[in-house]
């Protein structure tokens, strides 16, 4: 009895080699017209689906593989006599290998083409998912192939089968390939469902949150451990952009121990902060436990590192250092002078890398300059929270002056830096900046005045002058006591969101203390 392999692909990667191996192994190759052209180019014999079924393609190719001779050949159980008898009666041959990949619907999400629902509708595959799902269901007898990266293994097994009789494909391989098919179909259908849900909600540009979505994830890396050493953890990447999660720079680890769960959280926080800092001059930030404890620009990257360390000399030890400028030898020596967990930069000079690698525990991460984008997702009891990320810059220049005193240009420059930093501090958040240097941080306190007092205390502890310093608050002041305390410490300029019931009292205290007070339209809680 003849044995058949069905080929219908939109991605011809590896097709000539696979087709040649199948032909050499004695398979009759059934192919759709588009795939057949690729086989002609590869000079591999093939039989058209329409000549095999006796039915020409209909409706501009929409109907070509939806035929009993195709699906009977795929779905028949070879261990049931009644199935075999029905196949023989209907002149249906066994299709033992199904090679299919799907119309590239996912490829065009997020592109200009996605703005045209009619074009996207034409990219919704029907025959492909039907065939490959049938093959995956009947994987004990039919090998389902949806991913070209699996072709080499199959080719190798086919070549070995010439020497040894019997089925070249193990049940383990069949199950693994079937699982890949079902995962790919779930991803594909989820992307389509989310796209059309977005259209139905009136957000055809995909900017709104859909009524429903599916996530398909692949394990990218096993992490050393979770938040604590007794917890297992892994990093997963999102296969489908049906709901694009936060994505950003591509990165690679150049040295140091494997990353842990906490390392990845620190890495994410560092990238978010760096994306918000002003470009154009070497800038370095140091973070501890997801909060910035040092931020500074400098003449060069070494100067920026030295200034960032001065922000909080006690806390920077064991921190995460992120630079918007490539690390040279001098900067590497400066980093090596103290213990750091991670160093992140867009590049490393060879001699700098050599220096940093002498610290075996230091994780060295190189990142590209791609901006952050996508949605934030967090797990909670009972489900997921999804939100648009807080990555669109809200500048001090967009805030309104709410007190009589006019700030100096230097104060405005410092205030801009403070406002960029405060959104990356755990709420309640207060940030103090003076002369382009982060001098005090109050983070995660239960009341805003506690954060104010903590920021002031830390600044004084490290010898930073506060006369002429500026302050940023991530949310409004519920009472005027915070502004009063900041003013008495020497702070001359403050920015915070407005909207509190006591805004008028806060403005009155700012006017009395001769403090320039700005109200911004947005708040920047970070829980």
- Between the alpha carbon of residue 215 and those of residues 175, 198, 245, the distances in Å are 22, 15, 10
Contact assessment for residue 345 and residue 367, using Cβ atoms and an 8 Å cutoff: yes
Angle at 402 between CA 397 and CA 407, to 5 degrees: 60
CA–CA dist 21, 42 (Å, integer)? 12
Catalytic residue among 137, 357, 460, 462: 137
Q: CA-CA-CA-CA torsion for 267, 271, 273, 279, nearest 10 degrees? A: 150
Q: Which two tokens stand for residue 77?
A: 């159980």
| Stated length of the chain | 527
Q: Residue 458 in 3-state DSSP?
A: helix
- Close Cβ partners of 371 (under 8 Å, ≥ 6 residues apart): 248, 275, 391
CA 149, distance to chain mean position in Å, is 23
Count CB-CB contacts under 10 A for residue 370.
13
- Spatial distance between the Cα atoms of 443 and 211, rounded to a whole number of angstroms: 35
Is residue 458 part of the annotated active site? The answer reads no
Q: Is 289 known to be catalytic? A: yes
The DSSP annotation for 99-167 comes to EE---SHHHHTTSGGGG-HHHHHHT--SHHHHHHHHHHHTTTTSEEE--GGGHHHHHHHHHHHTTS-S-
Q: Catalytic residue among 3, 71, 289, 460, which?
A: 289
> If phi over 0 gives left and psi between -120 and 50 gives alpha, with beta otherwise, what is residue 343?
beta
Catalytic residues: 137, 289
């Amino acid at each position: 009895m003849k044995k058949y392999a069905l080929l219908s692909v939109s991605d011809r990667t590896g097709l000539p080699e696979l087709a040649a191996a199948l032909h050499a192994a004695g398979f009759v190759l059934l192919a759709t017209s588009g795939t057949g052209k690729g086989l002609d180019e590869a000079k591999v014999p093939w039989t058209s689906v329409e000549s095999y079924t006796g039915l020409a393609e209909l409706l501009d190719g929409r109907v070509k593989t939806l035929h009993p001779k195709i699906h009977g050949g795929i779905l028949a159980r070879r261990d049931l006599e009644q199935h075999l008898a029905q196949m023989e009666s209907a002149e249906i041959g066994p299709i033992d290998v199904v090679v299919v990949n799907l119309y590239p619907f996912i490829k065009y999400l997020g592109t200009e083409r996605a703005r045209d629902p009619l074009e996207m509708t034409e990219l919704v595959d029907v025959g492909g998912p039907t065939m490959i799902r049938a093959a995956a269901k009947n994987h004990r007898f039919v090998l389902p192939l949806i991913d070209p990266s699996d072709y080499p293994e199959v080719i190798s097994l086919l070549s070995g089968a010439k020497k040894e009789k019997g089925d070249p494909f193990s049940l383990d391989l069949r199950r693994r390939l079937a699982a890949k098919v079902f995962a790919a179909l779930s991803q594909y259908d989820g992307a389509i469902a989310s796209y059309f849900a977005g259209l139905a909600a009136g957000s055809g540009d995909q900017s709104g949150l859909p009524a429903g979505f599916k996530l398909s994830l692949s394990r990218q890396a096993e992490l050393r451990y979770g938040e604590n050493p007794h917890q297992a953890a892994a990093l997963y990447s999102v296969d489908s952009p049906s709901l694009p999660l936060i994505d950003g720079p591509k990165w690679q680890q150049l040295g140091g121990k494997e990353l842990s769960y906490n390392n990845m959280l620190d890495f994410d926080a560092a990238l978010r902060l760096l994306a918000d800092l002003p470009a154009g001059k070497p800038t370095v930030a140091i973070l501890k436990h997801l909060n910035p404890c040092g931020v500074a620009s400098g003449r060069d990257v070494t100067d920026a590192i030295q200034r960032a360390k001065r922000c909080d000399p006690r806390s920077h030890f064991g921190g995460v250092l992120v630079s918007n400028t490539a690390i040279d030898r001098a900067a590497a020596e400066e980093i090596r002078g103290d213990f750091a967990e991670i160093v992140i930069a867009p590049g490393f000079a060879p001699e700098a890398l050599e220096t940093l690698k002498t610290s075996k525990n230091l994780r060295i991460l190189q990142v590209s300059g791609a901006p952050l984008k996508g949605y934030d997702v967090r797990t909670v009891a009972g489900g997921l929270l999804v939100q648009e990320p807080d990555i669109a810059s809200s500048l001090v220049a967009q805030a309104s002056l709410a007190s009589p005193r006019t700030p100096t240009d230097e104060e405005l420059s410092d205030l801009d830096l403070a406002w960029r930093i405060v959104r990356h501090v755990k709420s309640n958040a207060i940030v103090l900046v003076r002369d382009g240097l982060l001098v005090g941080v109050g983070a995660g306190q239960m009341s805003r005045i506690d954060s104010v007092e903590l920021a002031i205390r830390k600044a004084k502890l490290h010898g930073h002058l506060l006369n002429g310093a500026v302050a940023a608050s991530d949310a409004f002041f519920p009472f005027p006591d915070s502004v009063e305390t900041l003013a008495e410490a020497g702070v001359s300029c403050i920015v915070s969101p407005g909207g509190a019931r006591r805004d008028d009292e806060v403005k009155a205290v700012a006017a009395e203390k001769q403090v320039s007070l700005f109200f911004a339209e947005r708040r920047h809680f970070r829980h």
